[in-house]
A and B are shown apart, each in its own frame.
Chain A
Amino acid sequence: EVQLVESGGGLVQPGGSLRLSCAASRFTFSNYAMSWVRQAPGKGLEWVSGVIGSGGTTYYADSVKGRFTISRDNSKNTLYLQMNSLRAEDTAVYYCAKAETYSGRYSPFDYWGQGTLVTVSS
């Protein structure tokens, strides 16, 4: 079955940076769009960013645009999220999620990782 394993979370000060990774296995990674979705403590789900199968097109929520960068290395089957200028409101569990299509358009998220916790605090 599809496996997605996130890493890279931790405690960071406001204004700091962090890079999350999501290692994918048991499917042809380059054939599918991927996204990051976050969940603040005790809150609901918020889509953060997405990237198509090739990595050539990326999408961002307004709340992170200009601060976060999504990328992927299809040779390593790994998705990344570079997070800069972090704020307290970025504190959340970050999940990577797989789309059912190459472009991600008109596709739900059919598999999710277990998440990695990012805490932004001084």
Chain B
Amino acid sequence: DIVLMQSPGTLSLSPGERATLSCRASQSVRSSYLAWYQQKPGQAPRLLIYGAASRATGIPDRFSGSGSGTDFTLTISRLEPEDFAVYYCQQYDSSPRTFGQGTKLEIK
């Protein structure tokens, strides 16, 4: 199974700041089959990024993804109050689909 490690576990920032979240895979994720999801308390996850760098429908352009192979990054350019949430990366290159343990983005 591909293990995904996210860092940091918790990120404390202020609105307007830039957030950089990391996801590292235990083996190469082919063709960048890597997605990012946002989850707010009491809500279902929402797809933000797929194919490592493509934004899902309706996702603001302050969210961007990058990376390939084993190292991937989610960047939020200027944090809005509604962006404080938990973020998960997921690989869909191989079965079983696996998720990272999550990064909690909290207000400083």
Contact = CB atoms under 8 A, between A and B. Distances in A.
A35 B47 CA distance: 15
A61 B90 contact: no
Interface of B is mostly: loop
Interface stretch (A11-19, A72-80, A107-115): A107-115
Contact of B97 (A47, A62, A112): A47
Interface stretch (B19-27, B67-75, B98-106): B98-106
A109 B31 contact: no
Contacts of B92: 106-108
Interface string B83-101: 0000010101101111111
A35 B95 CA distance: 12
Interface residues of B, number: 23
Interface residues of A, number: 21
Contacts of B99: 44-47
B46 to A, nearest CB: 7
A45 B45 contact: yes
A1 to B, nearest CB: 10
Nearest to A45: B99
A29 interface: no
Nearest to B54: A108
A59 interface: yes
Contacts of A106: 31, 33, 92-93
Contact of B102 (A44, A95, A108, A109): A44
Given A59-B95, A106-B31, A108-B50, A44 B44 contact: no
Interface string A87-122: 000000001000010000011111111110000000
Contacts of A61: 96
5 contacts: A44-B102, A45-B45, A47-B96, A47-B99, A112-B46
Interface of B: 31, 33, 35, 37, 43-47, 50, 56, 88, 90, 92-93, 95-102
